[in-house]
Structure 1
Amino acid sequence: MFNVGIIGATGYVGIEIVRLLQNHPEINISTVVSHSFAGQKISDVYPNLKNVFDMECESLDIDKISEKADIFITALPHGISKEVIPKLIQRNKRVIDHSGDFRYKSVEVYEKWYNTKHGMPHLLDISVYGLPELYRDKIKDAKLVANPGCYPTCSILAIAPLLKNKLIKTKGIIIDAASGITGAGRNTTLPFQFCESSENFKAYKVANHRHTSEIEQELSFLANEEIMVSFTPHLVPMKRGMLCTIYADLACDKSAKEIIDIYKEYYKDEFFVRIMDEGKLPETKYVAGSNYIDIGIVVDERLSRVIVLSALDNLGKGASSQAVQDLNIMFGLPEHSGLTAPALYF
């Protein structure tokens, strides 16, 4: 058994990792860290875990917890990680981080979009972007894995085959994305209260959401040229799930069937990427609670435009279960270990 510690275990991402790992056949949760609930059983914070996982939450004592695990998963807000991750790396621990602090290759881009000083540029040299379908070989031996954001995961995997096969024009890509409310974390601020979000559908951070830069970085690597996208996120009154609708102008004449065949070939070895047949489109209920991403494709022949729709669970493939997928790779385990459960559907 491999020992794993979870720092920030009582947030939505952290507790989803607990839910997944407590039943993993090869991994043992050896410590759970929570600033807000130190000294309490995690099953008192989340009663669904009673008699399933009753470990007591610890406070953040790096010296104490570092002896308990081989790899740590940190589910902390951006900026806070700089107080934790360098100390773990110094103690020769491997880390999977969920903040945006290590997803960028350019300090300047990070500081512009996050409006803060980075403070740890030396760690960017050793960090690996934690999208297995693109960086599996690097994740395997990485000391520091930066788990991608949910919007970038949903967008990048949906667009990647188009760029790699030069099927689209690289100017004018539009991404409309809608996320469940858990995408904001365990947040008590007014916009995420029930009466504010129920029976409501709204856009937010239009043209300036920080995940825009993360998407552009990875698409630029895929295309071998600078890519800029128009990205608009929306908040949907549901707990979990994400749907992206992506528009791009075709660079050549291709039917939907031809593009679908290209996608199926591109992702033929990817267990968690499901390409839908022509005429079928993804829905969040097909993926909620799972590590799958579903991708559907339509061609608007009148406009010579391809429309790609992708759906995943923002807490699953967009965060927690993708971290477990990375963890399996880092431990040399089968990539789908502990992750084969189907979506919840209801």
Structure 2
Amino acid sequence: MTHSIAIIGASGYTGAELVRIIATHPSFEIKALAANSKAGQPMASVFPHLRHLDLPDLVTWEEIDFDQIDLCFCALPHKTSQEVISKLPKSIKIVDLSADFRLRDPAEYEKWYGNPHAAPEIQKEAVYGLTEFYREEIAGARLVAGTGCNAATGQFILRPLISAGVIDLDDIILDLQCGVSGAGRSLKENLLHAELSEGTNAYAVGGTHRHQGEFDQEFSKLAGRAVKVQFTPHLGPFNRGILATCYVKGEADAVLASLQAAYADEPFISVLPKGETPSTHHVRGSNFCHIGVSGDRIPGRAIIVAALDNLCKGSSGQAVQNANLMLGEDERAGLMLAPCFP
């Protein structure tokens, strides 16, 4: 069965990544591409690397005939996304890649994003889109909220460890480097080549990064008590990829065993042999996440490193993974492309 797909926000990096993935999907066909600021242009003029594909021209989202659409990916900025989704027909399934429906409590959304939530009734039906941990809920959902890319990486490390009770919940440090594409495609002075290249910097220091809200929500729910991770993100001088290094109080062998047990049957998450560390090079352009565990020289402490592609497993690939479940397809469909190396 072929499913008709629309992408709203197709002129951004995650929109282009959705097109790249869906182009080889055996059951998805792109029927509409919307980007209000680029409406009327062919996709090839916005993203020349997609020139070989037979794609519809970009339109405004209001021009889409949603009667012909089975599922819509919404790749718009936060705040804009909730306003658009509230106007879409209830008959279509939606995977939202923005932050608008990730936080279940509207007050928490306002705290982290600075604006009152404009669609709290729709928020109530949204399912959090971390596929490996919400499969059943996602399969039956109308609206799925894709996770933040940083939030997904940290959760792939920590959720199994919290569930297994093998780490001290009051002693978790997460340092994370993300490629510049994680900041989106809009023009920003600090993202100019001369400002970014040949250096790196920490930002949102002191627990102010918005993905911290997802950590607080998900880890506290899982533990049945408040869990606050010490999290510092860094902007890396590379295009795509996330490398997260997590420091915990717990025995390395128990940490490794917990991760191996949690991900033994997962097609997209690989736990490396003890002592091996992953690289963003080895997951680039793919829907895979690699996790490595090492013991620390300080007894009773472990270091976990995870790598994934922020645009794929951290966003658009995860979105397609969720869409597969929502439409009754094999979860792996369209997503088994090997990483691009070197």
TM-score where L is the length of structure 2: 0.97
Q: Which amino acid aligns with 2:305?
A: L
Output the CA distance in 1 between the equivalents of 2:83 and 2:54: 28
Post-superposition shift, 1:199? 0.3
1:204-215 to 2 correspondence within 5 Å? 204-207=203-206, 208-215=208-215
Kept in 1, the 8 Å contact 2:83–2:118? The answer is no
Post-superposition shift, 1:325? 0.5
Partner of 1:43: 44
2:282 corresponds to 1:283: no
Output the CA distance in 2 between the equivalents of 1:300 and 1:57: 52
Q: Secondary structure at the match of 1:234?
A: strand
Post-superposition shift, 1:317? 0.5
Partner of 2:99: 100
Output the CA distance in 2 between the equivalents of 1:54 and 1:329: 24
Post-superposition shift, 1:104? 0.9
Output the CA distance in 2 between the equivalents of 1:305 and 1:51: 50
Kept in 1, the 8 Å contact 2:138–2:144? The answer is yes
Output the CA distance in 1 between the equivalents of 2:134 and 2:127: 8
Kept in 2, the 8 Å contact 1:22–1:53? The answer is no
Q: Which amino acid aligns with 1:80?
A: T
1:1-346 to 2 correspondence within 5 Å? 1-61=2-62, 64-88=64-88, 90-207=89-206, 208-250=208-250, 254=251, 256-300=252-296, 302-346=298-342
Q: Secondary structure at the match of 2:67?
A: coil
- Over aligned residues, Cα RMSD in angstroms? 1.2
Offset from partner CA, 1:284-305 (integer Å, 9 cap, x none): 0011100011111112252421
Q: Which amino acid aligns with 2:62?
A: D
Post-superposition shift, 1:117? 0.8
Post-superposition shift, 1:222? 1.8
TM-score where L is the length of structure 1: 0.95
Q: Which amino acid aligns with 2:128?
A: Y
- Name stretches of at least 5 consecutive residues in structure 1 with no aligned partner: none
Kept in 2, the 8 Å contact 1:172–1:249? The answer is yes
Offset from partner CA, 1:49-103 (integer Å, 9 cap, x none): 22323320111216x4312311100000000012211121x43221100111100
- Name stretches of at least 5 consecutive residues in structure 2 with no aligned partner: none
Kept in 2, the 8 Å contact 1:152–1:214? The answer is yes
Kept in 2, the 8 Å contact 1:179–1:243? The answer is yes
Offset from partner CA, 1:302-330 (integer Å, 9 cap, x none): 24212111110000100011101001111
Moved more, 44-53 or 16-25: 44-53
Q: Which amino acid aligns with 2:301?
A: R
Q: Which amino acid aligns with 1:319?
A: S
Post-superposition shift, 1:262? 2.5
Q: Which segments of structure 1 move beyond 4 Å, counting only runs of 4 or more?
A: none
Kept in 2, the 8 Å contact 1:5–1:68? The answer is no
Post-superposition shift, 1:259? 2.9
Post-superposition shift, 1:187? 2.3
Instruction: Summarize the Cα distance change of 1:172–1:257 in structure 2 as closer, same or farther, 3 Å threshold.
Output: closer
Moved more, 117-126 or 277-286: 117-126
Q: Which amino acid aligns with 1:212?
A: Q
Kept in 2, the 8 Å contact 1:42–1:53? The answer is no
Q: Secondary structure at the match of 2:133?
A: helix
Offset from partner CA, 1:126-185 (integer Å, 9 cap, x none): 000001111000000101100000000000011111100100111131110000000001
Q: Which amino acid aligns with 2:167?
A: I
Output the CA distance in 2 between the equivalents of 1:132 and 1:11: 23
Q: Secondary structure at the match of 2:217?
A: helix
Offset from partner CA, 1:35-58 (integer Å, 9 cap, x none): 121111101211122232332011
Kept in 2, the 8 Å contact 1:76–1:99? The answer is yes
Kept in 1, the 8 Å contact 2:276–2:294? The answer is no
Kept in 2, the 8 Å contact 1:271–1:336? The answer is yes
Instruction: Summarize the Cα distance change of 1:28–1:54 in structure 2 as closer, same or farther, 3 Å threshold.
Output: closer
Post-superposition shift, 1:258? 4.1
Output the CA distance in 1 between the equivalents of 2:117 and 2:199: 36
Output the CA distance in 2 between the equivalents of 1:12 and 1:345: 20
Kept in 1, the 8 Å contact 2:30–2:55? The answer is no
